[in-house]
């Protein structure tokens, strides 16, 4: 629903000094009071006819508060004509309450404001007709015209205020429900039954999807809000220690573009698509991927997809274990100079991947085949018979892939330095 412009609130003391306290002749009030019941009916009928949102319920639905509200407003208007200094007698509270009721009835601010314009037009038409028949002078008619439109603007402003209050209250409640839903969806093995979860989702206006992807956000937006591009079916909680979104049906067309627009200016990671019950896994991997981006292990142009980095996520899932493997297997390389470690490590990883054919290894490493053979002799000297052991090869590949990902920048810098010296190994 679009944000409406608040109607200005002209109170009696805002009127020009010459008009302040001015009142029409006493006979005006006496003439107008008998007109009020039929005038209320005419206003209600004209609103029903002219404003679409008021048409159906007034004609066919259950009793509404529209007619009593119009009658009350007309009585208060005439009472204030009789005594301009009199208090509104709860009119402000009643108007705000009417605005809240109309929000809950599903009517928009545009419809409310249109209804007030219709009411003002009908009321002034009737008063002008009564005034012509009664022979009221132009000064009296001018005072009445100002009183009508000032009063309508005033009560409309209070009604709009009540409508906005109700909308904000409903929005706050909906957001609280959705944050509760995020917490529940991300709690694996939650105690709440599937039926209760469905009830909460229905109350939060969220359709339970078959699959979701969780999105980890590097930084909260400065104002704590997302761009309007994010769809209403996306659950958002930016107040969590790990700010996140839960995106239903993440593989549908346009989902990534939507996220890129909504999260402009901040890095984020999109977790893998998983069944709803595995949402916590998707978020954990997204948080891990974002951490690897910030460490420079994973490259990122605004955002990263976990589905493209699953092997890297696996390698870095438990770095303590890899560290233990490194201490056990990597010692001979660790004793070398940094540049030698880089070159022999790359050569060893290429040998493990290709199966050891020198020409193919040379093509991958962009060196001469003779250089590859020279490096392989060095590796044989370092590791000997271990290189024929399947467990050793498996663990060494894990170690080398992890080190090369983690130390990519250092590796490139060392290689450039070595090329400048003309060193082969």
**Predicted pLDDT at 415:** 45
Could you read off the pLDDT of 120-170 as tens digits, one per residue?
999 999 999 999 998 899 988 998 999 899 889 988 888 888 888 878 776
**Predicted pLDDT at 408:** 62
Could you read off the pLDDT of 18-40 as tens digits, one per residue?
344 456 667 888 889 999 999 99
Q: What is the mean pLDDT of residues 393-416?
A: 72
Please tell me the distance from the alpha carbon of residue 380 to that of residue 372, in angstroms, as a whole number.
Answer: 12
Which of the following CATH numbers is that of domain 319-421: 1.10.760, 1.10.8, 1.10.10, 3.40.50? 1.10.10
Does pLDDT of 98 surpass 90? no
Could you read off the pLDDT of 208-237 as tens digits, one per residue?
999 999 999 988 766 666 666 778 889 988
**What 3-state DSSP class applies to 246?**
strand
- Confidence at 370, pLDDT banded by 50, 70, 90: very high
User: For 105-243, where are the E strands, in sequence order?
Assistant: 211-217, 235-237
Number of H helices, E strands in the chain: 18, 6
Q: What is the mean pLDDT of residues 202-207?
A: 86
How much of the chain is helix, strand and coil, in % rounded to 5? 65, 5, 30
User: For 278-374, where are the E strands, in sequence order?
Assistant: 303-305
Domain 12-173: give its CATH code: 1.10.490.10
Please tell me the distance from the alpha carbon of residue 314 to that of residue 322, in angstroms, as a whole number.
Answer: 11
Alpha-carbon torsion, ordered 166, 168, 172, 177, to 10 deg: 60
Q: Report the percentage of the chain scoring pLDDT > 70.
A: 82
**Predicted pLDDT at 11:** 37
**Predicted pLDDT at 193:** 63
Instruction: Confirm if 210 and 275 have CB atoms less than 8 A apart.
Output: yes
Does pLDDT of 413 surpass 50? no
- Confidence at 420, pLDDT banded by 50, 70, 90: very low
* CATH 1.10.490.10 residue spans of the chain: 12-173
Please tell me the distance from the alpha carbon of residue 383 to that of residue 390, in angstroms, as a whole number.
Answer: 13
CB count, 10 Å around CB of 257? 10
Query: Of 15-24, 258-267, 339-348, 386-395, which gets the smallest average pLDDT?
Result: 15-24
Could you read off the pLDDT of 56-96 as tens digits, one per residue?
544 444 345 788 888 888 888 888 888 776 655 567 888 88
Instruction: Identify which has the larger pLDDT, 89 or 263.
Output: 263
- Mean pLDDT, all residues of the chain: 81
**Predicted pLDDT at 167:** 82
Q: Report the percentage of the chain scoring pLDDT > 90.
A: 24
**Predicted pLDDT at 216:** 93
* CATH 1.10.10 residue spans of the chain: 319-421
**Predicted pLDDT at 89:** 53
- Confidence at 371, pLDDT banded by 50, 70, 90: very high
**Predicted pLDDT at 6:** 35
């Amino acid at each position: 629903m679009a944000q409406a412009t608040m109607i200005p609130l002209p109170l009696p003391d805002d009127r020009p000094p010459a008009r302040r306290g001015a009142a029409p002749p006493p006979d005006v009030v006496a003439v107008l009071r008998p007109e009020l019941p039929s005038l209320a009916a005419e206003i209600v009928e004209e609103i029903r006819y002219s404003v679409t949102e008021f048409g159906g319920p007034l004609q066919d639905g259950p009793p509404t508060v529209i007619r009593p509200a119009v009658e009350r407003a007309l009585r208060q208007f005439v009472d204030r004509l009789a005594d301009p200094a009199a208090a509104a007698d709860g009119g402000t509270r009643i108007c705000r309450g009417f605005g809240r009721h109309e929000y809950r009835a599903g009517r928009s601010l545009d419809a409310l404001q249109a209804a007030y314009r219709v009411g003002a037009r009908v009321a002034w038409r009737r008063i002008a007709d009564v005034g012509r028949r009664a022979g009221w002078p132009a000064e009296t008619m001018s005072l009445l015209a100002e009183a009508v439109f000032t009063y309508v603007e005033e009560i409309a402003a209070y009604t709009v205020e009540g409508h906005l209050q109700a909308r904000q209250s409903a929005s706050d409640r909906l957001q609280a429900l959705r944050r509760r839903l995020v917490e529940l969806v991300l709690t694996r093995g939650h105690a709440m039954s599937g039926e209760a979860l469905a009830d909460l989702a229905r109350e939060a206006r969220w359709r339970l999807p078959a699959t979701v992807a969780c999105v980890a956000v590097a930084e909260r937006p400065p104002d704590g809000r997302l761009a309007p591009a994010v769809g209403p079916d996306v659950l958002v909680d930016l107040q969590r220690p790990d700010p996140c979104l839960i995106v239903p049906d993440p593989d549908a067309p346009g989902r990534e573009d939507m996220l890129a627009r909504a999260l402009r200016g901040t890095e984020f990671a999109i977790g893998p698509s998983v069944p709803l019950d595995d949402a916590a896994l998707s978020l954990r991997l997204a948080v891990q991927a974002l951490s690897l981006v910030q460490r420079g292990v994973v490259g990122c142009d605004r955002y990263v997809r976990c589905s493209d980095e699953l092997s890297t996520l696996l390698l870095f899932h438990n770095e303590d274990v890899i560290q233990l493997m490194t201490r056990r297997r990597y010692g001979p390389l660790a004793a070398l100079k940094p540049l030698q470690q880089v070159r022999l490590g790359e050569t060893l990883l290429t040998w493990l991947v290709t199966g050891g054919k020198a020409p193919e290894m040379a093509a991958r490493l962009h060196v001469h085949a003779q250089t590859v053979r020279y490096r392989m002799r060095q590796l044989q000297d370092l590791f000997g018979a271990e290189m024929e052991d399947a467990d050793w090869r498996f663990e060494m590949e894990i170690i080398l892939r992890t080190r090369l990902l983690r130390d990519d920048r250092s590796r490139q810098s060392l290689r450039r330095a070595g090329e400048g010296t003309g060193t082969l190994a």
